[in-house]
Structure 1
Amino acid sequence: MEIRKLNSLRAIAALIVFITHFSDVTHWLDGALGGGSGAYGVMLFFLLSGFLMSYLYLDKAFSKDNIKHYIVARIGRVVPLYLLIVFASYFLSQAGSDVLYQIPDFNSLLGHFLFMVGDRVLWSIPPEVQFYLIFIVFWSLSNHRSGYIYLAIVAVLIILFLTNFPRIYGDIYGVPYNMFNVIRSLPLFFVGVVFGLNYKKLNIPTYMKQHWLVLVLCLIPLMYPELSPVNTDAKHKMWLSYEVLLVMSTVFFCIVFLVPDNNILLANKVGDVIGKISYSLYLLHLPVIMQVNQLNLNIELKLLLSLAVSLLLAYISYRYFEKPIAQFIRVKTTNSSSQS
């Protein structure tokens, strides 16, 4: 069963990242909406990923066929567009162009190809893929030992807190890796898993489901460094703050569990479309902003043009590459399974 409002939540996450990068690149509103605030959009993506993996798979049998279908679906969803952009960035970098992302040499290309490191927005894809592998362990426990999932999550959260999120990065024979990115992302994925585990089980009283709770989304901009009422350096920690984890988890819980599914602000055609193309939008928007910023236009026109071109490219990417490739991978895998 599709939870339609998650499309709009995915769209909001992508637009948060877009606005943040536009503010950083152009200094729109004196950069008030930038300063790394796109992290909150990525956090929503990670919460959504953990939730959906848990919601879609943990009540299914942990069988060879189901695992195969899971891996194929994940590969088809994330890998093709990512690799296309990685290789395009590498060859453009070799030609001296910075139109896409900076992948200056073969070792850097290999680090991206192996999901060990990522330039700019590409950094978030390796943690996503690594979480998919970790999730298989949770799935193996879900049918008969689901309590161990909670125990493992609590243990990891405590260890990360006590070790202050260890900075593990470097290179292996010149190939760069950055495990810190997945380490700092795990709490978001894990909270999403817990929510997904309980979505079908938790019986929320009708009187607690209120449309006005959609306003909880306003908590996100209140955490932006330039807008936050917090006066300590905690407002800059973002990924390393369990306070931020609590707020983002609260926002996610309220939207998913307490806002009615037919809320007009979340269940609408615009949210559906942008949500579906959000992955392409996320990967392609920054190069667009960088190129548009070189034009001699006022900043409002740059904003509108950047958004329009980013949405158009994202739609084309989704419609003519991302979606067909994912379907092709599934069909080929299904045919190979039936013939074996």
Structure 2
Amino acid sequence: MTDAKRIVQLDGLRAIAVLMVFGSHSFGFHLLWTGVDLFFVLSGFLVTGILLEQRRHKTWSSYLALFYQRRIQRILPPYLLFLGLTSILFGIGWMHHWYLFVFLMNTASFGELSYHYSLAVLWSLAVEEQFYILWPFAVYWLSETALAWLAGTLVLVAPLLRWGATAFFPGHWPIHTSTPFRMDLLAIGALIALAWRHYRTVLEQLSAYGLLLTGISVCFLLLFSRYPWFQAGANNVSASVWLYELSLLGCAGAVLWALGGRGVGMLKLTPLVYLGRISYSFYLVHFTVISVVRNHLHHILLARAIAFAVSFIYAALSWHLLERPTLYGLVSPHSQMGVEVEVEVEVEVEVGVRE
């Protein structure tokens, strides 16, 4: 996907997602943790689209090598920079469980392993990278029809797994952070990518209904979130199934609306588009910055404003001095397709989002 084909409003939507996560961590606003879910849906859409395009022109070996090369180039440099910053600020105690940082942070809740709070955001990056270990194989070897059936099956299986597994965990974190229980978000993004390839005109015509779907989902989330049994931290079947399903529907609707291109002028505003471009590093560092700043400043609004500014500056410097040179310095001009549009939230941005 070259810049000519870039869907700019998705950058704006990514910025909305990272702002939601920042708001959740800064002010404790309920439901804004769903910004991470939005990252997952965007990632599933963008990466699946890139893989489908690449398989048309690549042999199996070059297709796989190129995908993982790009993931390494996009994910690893900011990730290592963040770990270096964490070591400078808080020491190297995180190395006691070094294996968690090979994209296994979302397994820490199973063993009740302790780690520094600044590293909590890495669970979502682990979810994405674990999903993308196998997904490129499915995209290459399955027909698009079979791939759609597989993605649809994953969308249906994940809530069933959450329903069956909830009783076996003493807390909600294994459900919240484990790939099998959250893969429906990435899979619904993949379904949207497949539909976009074959029914783009229909999706554009129905985009307003995507916004309606988001609105209805948000209304139900707001309505039921008043009750303790429907909070993200509630370890019960109702929350494990329906809370996450409403989030999925809302996020999928937002992506459909953005793709339609109608009434999305806000998403194309330069500040939002830019924040979307640098959102990976912003996500990685924001929780650390919030925590450090609020330990020294007790004025809530001032502390949050400073935390946002510091996170933004860090992310901008990372993008211009590290990430962009790494991406375009190592990838030839003829193979840059889709490099900039991959989502790392990684969300990846990514993002133990501790609500």
TM class by smaller structure: 0.7 to 0.9
How far apart are the structure 1 equivalents of 2:105 and 2:6?
Answer: 33
How far apart are the structure 1 equivalents of 2:160 and 2:240?
Answer: 17
Higher fraction of helix: 2
Partner of 1:108: 97
Contact 1:9 1:266 in 2 (8 A): yes
Contact 1:228 1:235 in 2 (8 A): no
Do residues 58 (structure 1) and 47 (structure 2) align? no
Give 1:1-340 correspondences, 5 Å limit.
1-24=5-28, 33-34=29-30, 37-59=31-53, 60-61=55-56, 63=59, 64-90=61-87, 92-94=89-91, 104-112=93-101, 114-117=102-105, 119-142=119-142, 145-163=143-161, 164=163, 166=165, 181-202=178-199, 203-204=201-202, 208=206, 222=219, 227-229=222-224, 233-236=229-232, 237=239, 241-256=244-259, 258-260=260-262, 263-296=264-297, 298-330=299-331
Q: 1:158 to 1:133 in 2, by over 3 A?
A: same
How far apart are the structure 1 equivalents of 2:120 and 2:220?
Answer: 21
Residues 184-217 of structure 1, C-alpha deviation per residue, up to 9 Å, x if partnerless?
Answer: 220000000010111132122876555x976876
Tell which deviates more after alignment, 66-75 or 177-186: 177-186
Q: 1:294 to 1:49 in 2, by over 3 A?
A: same
Contact 2:21 2:33 in 1 (8 A): yes
**CA positional deviation for 1:252:** 2.2
**CA positional deviation for 1:329:** 4.0
**CA positional deviation for 1:86:** 2.7
**CA positional deviation for 1:279:** 0.5
**Partner SS for 1:293:** helix
Contact 2:188 2:252 in 1 (8 A): yes
**Partner SS for 2:178:** helix
**CA positional deviation for 1:56:** 1.9
**Partner SS for 1:115:** coil
Ranges in structure 2 where 5+ consecutive residues have no aligned partner: 107-118, 233-238, 336-355
Residues 41-66 of structure 1, C-alpha deviation per residue, up to 9 Å, x if partnerless?
Answer: 11111101100012222133252223
Contact 1:214 1:259 in 2 (8 A): no
How far apart are the structure 1 equivalents of 2:296 and 2:87?
Answer: 25
**CA positional deviation for 1:162:** 3.5
Residues 124-157 of structure 1, C-alpha deviation per residue, up to 9 Å, x if partnerless?
Answer: 1111111222221222234xx2222233234334
Q: 1:52 to 1:296 in 2, by over 3 A?
A: closer
Letter aligned with residue 37 of structure 2: M
**What is the TM-score with the length of structure 1 in the denominator?**
0.76
Contact 1:14 1:278 in 2 (8 A): yes
Contact 2:203 2:256 in 1 (8 A): no
Contact 1:117 1:126 in 2 (8 A): yes
Aligned residues: 299
**Partner SS for 1:58:** helix
Q: 1:243 to 1:154 in 2, by over 3 A?
A: same
**What is the TM-score with the length of structure 2 in the denominator?**
0.73
Q: 1:318 to 1:222 in 2, by over 3 A?
A: farther
**Partner SS for 1:204:** helix
How far apart are the structure 1 equivalents of 2:322 and 2:308?
Answer: 20
**CA positional deviation for 1:178:** 10
